Structure formats: structure tokens, C-alpha cells
């Protein structure tokens, strides 16, 4: 069964994370790390950093929906209409996407979930899937003051080819508008306009925050990490330490 194992090796020129290269021993973990937090709290950033060291895939429902939007299919058309307005897409749509994704063979070692679940209904469906597939879920709540969110998201740029995230204020590309890794022109998300960001935060407060209570009542381990007063690398270290202390990641995964 599952093994949450660190990846060996990084692409040439890629910043080496200050995290272990591989675990010393095999561990039957099959962990599902649920990155939870408001829009702009750094879920995607942390998922990518953790993903450099963990074998399981990074599953972002936002990225999946944007792929459908780019493809222009039926799911994409519905998703575009709602995401542009800062609204959540219907539960049935994302539940079906996640169910199908979790069944793929690359999820066997464990998964990093980003942006899912986002309603209590989605959380219930997810826990059912976790139980039937034998995953061990843990929730990592990235906490950031809302005042910082609008500034963060207004300055976000992303590479449409490799997915690297930039911040015009804290981690800008070396050449304005160009991805450091592959030279592609960076894009601004359609939902990163201020009025849409405010609607997304409202949706988060009303629909997503109640999940925290549901998880607590369901006995799912829940960890809070302050993600608003530190660089992404510092937040990553906090995240890693919390997961190690709690045994979500094996103690042998390294203490550096």
C-alpha cells in the first residue's frame, strides 16, 4: 500500500528545497494532506514546495477547472462563468473530478489536495473517498489576514506552461512578465481583480470556513500554520515541522 516517499533529484537549475531528499525507511502512510485556507493564503505555493519532496501528486481543483476552461468544454464553460464572478462551482462537478483523479495510479503514495474540499458537502464526500481508498487525511490550515490577501492576489502572476507562481512584490520573475524557467509569457488570472477577490473571500467565509468544525467533529487531524508573516520557504518549514511532529510525515524524513 501507500508510501509517501520523497522524490529523488530536481530539475537542473531548480532551487533545492531545504527539505530531505528521501526518506530513510519505507512507511505505509498513504497520507492525504489537505491544504486549507482562504484565496491567496498560499495553498498552491506550499503544494508546489511540498510536491518537490513528496511522491504523491498535487491535486488542485482550481487548476483542473482552469484546464477545462482552456479546453473550452462543457465543464469549462460552466466553470468560467462562475469563477469569473468569484462563485464556487457546483459540488457535483468538483466531487466527480476529484473522485476520478484520486483513482489514478499516481495517487497510490499519497496526495496533496489544494482547494478541495470547499463546502461541507464536499468534505463529506472526500472523507468517504478517503475511507474507501485507505487514505489518511490531515488538514493544514494556512492562516493569513485578509488585508494581505488583496495585495498578494493583485500581484500574482503564473506561468501557463510550468505553473510556477510569482509575486510582483515578494518573488518577481528575473525579467518582467517572463517565466524564469521556460521563458513563457506570464499570465494574470481572470479572478484576481479586486472585486472578484472580495467575492471569493465572502464565499470562503460562508461556504468553506464551516468545514473546519466538520473536520474537528470528524476527528480529522487539523494543524494551523501562520502563513501571513513569513516567506514561502519559511512557511514551508513550519508546515514540514508540524507534519513531522504529528507523525503525518515519517520522523526519519529528516530533521534539517
Annotated active-site positions, please? 43, 118, 156, 189, 200
Residues 6+ apart with CB under 8 A from 145: 228
- Counting contacts by CB under 6 A, is residue 159 touching ligand AP5? no
Minimum gap (Å) between residue 89 Cβ and ligand AP5: 4
The site map against ligand AP5 for 111-140 (x = CB under 6 A) is ----xx-x---x------------------
Q: Which of 94, 102, 123, 127 binds ligand AP5 (CB under 6 A)?
A: 94
CB under 5 A: which stretch of 44-52, 169-177, 211-219, 228-236 binds Mg ion?
A: 44-52
CB nearer to ligand AP5: give 21 or 194. 194
- Counting contacts by CB under 6 A, is residue 36 touching ligand AP5? no
Going from the C-alpha of 36 to that of each of 78, 93, 144, 172, the distances in angstroms are 24, 19, 11, 25
How buried is 60 (Cβ within 10 angstroms: 0-12 exposed, 13-18 middle, 19+ buried)? Answer: buried
How buried is 76 (Cβ within 10 angstroms: 0-12 exposed, 13-18 middle, 19+ buried)? Answer: middle
Tell me the residue number closest to Mg ion, measured at CB: 44
SS3 at position 37: strand
- Counting contacts by CB under 6 A, is residue 107 touching ligand AP5? no
- Counting contacts by CB under 6 A, is residue 42 touching ligand AP5? yes
Going from the C-alpha of 106 to that of each of 55, 158, 237, 248, the distances in angstroms are 9, 25, 25, 19
For the segment 221-240, give every residue that binds ligand AP5 (CB under 6 A).
Answer: 227, 230-232, 235
CB nearer to ligand AP5: give 55 or 125. 125
SS3 sequence, 213-234? HHHHHHCCCEEEEECCCCCHHH
Q: How many residues bind Mg ion (CB under 5 A)?
A: 1
For the segment 182-221, give every residue that binds ligand AP5 (CB under 6 A).
Answer: 191, 200
- Counting contacts by CB under 5 A, is residue 37 touching Mg ion? no
- Counting contacts by CB under 5 A, is residue 86 touching Mg ion? no
Length of the chain: 256
List the single partner that 137 binds among Mg ion, ligand AP5, none, CB under 5 to 8 Å by kind.
Answer: none
DSSP secondary structure of 99-126: HHHHTSGGGTTEEEEES---SHHHHHHH
Residues 6+ apart with CB under 8 A from 155: 167, 168, 169
Give the footprint of ligand AP5 on this chain (CB under 6 A): 37, 39-45, 60-62, 65, 82-83, 86-89, 94, 115-116, 118, 122, 152-153, 155-156, 165-167, 170-171, 191, 200, 227, 230-232, 235
Amino acid at each position: 500500500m501507500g508510501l509517501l516517499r520523497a522524490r529523488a533529484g530536481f530539475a537542473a537549475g531548480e532551487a533545492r528545497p531545504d527539505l530531505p531528499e528521501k526518506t530513510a525507511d519505507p512507511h505505509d502512510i498513504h497520507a492525504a494532506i489537505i491544504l486549507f485556507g482562504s484565496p491567496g493564503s498560499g495553498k498552491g505555493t506550499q503544494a508546489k514546495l511540498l510536491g518537490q519532496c513528496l511522491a504523491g501528486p498535487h491535486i488542485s481543483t482550481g487548476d483542473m477547472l482552469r484546464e477545462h476552461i482552456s479546453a473550452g468544454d462543457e465543464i469549462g464553460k460552466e466553470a468560467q462563468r462562475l469563477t469569473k464572478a468569484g462563485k464556487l462551482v457546483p459540488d457535483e462537478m468538483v466531487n466527480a473530478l476529484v473522485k476520478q483523479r484520486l483513482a489514478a495510479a499516481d495517487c497510490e503514495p499519497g496526495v496533496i489536495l489544494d482547494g478541495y474540499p470547499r463546502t461541507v458537502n464536499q468534505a463529506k464526500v472526500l472523507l468517504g473517498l478517503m475511507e474507501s481508498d485507505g487514505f489518511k487525511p490531515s488538514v493544514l490550515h494556512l492562516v493569513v489576514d485578509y488585508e494581505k490577501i488583496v495585495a498578494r492576489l493583485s500581484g500574482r502572476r503564473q506561468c501557463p506552461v510550468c505553473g510556477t507562481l510569482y509575486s510582483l512584490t515578494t518573488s518577481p520573475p528575473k525579467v518582467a512578465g517572463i517565466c524564469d524557467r521556460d521563458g513563457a509569457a506570464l499570465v494574470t488570472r481572470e479572478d484576481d481583480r479586486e472585486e472578484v477577490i472580495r467575492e471569493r473571500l465572502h464565499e470562503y467565509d460562508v461556504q468553506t470556513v464551516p468545514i473546519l468544525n466538520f473536520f474537528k467533529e470528524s476527528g480529522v487531524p487539523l494543524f494551523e500554520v501562520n502563513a501571513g508573516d513569513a516567506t514561502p520557504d519559511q512557511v514551508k518549514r513550519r508546515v514540514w515541522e508540524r507534519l513531522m511532529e504529528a507523525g503525518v510525515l515519517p520522523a526519519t524524513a529528516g530533521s534539517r
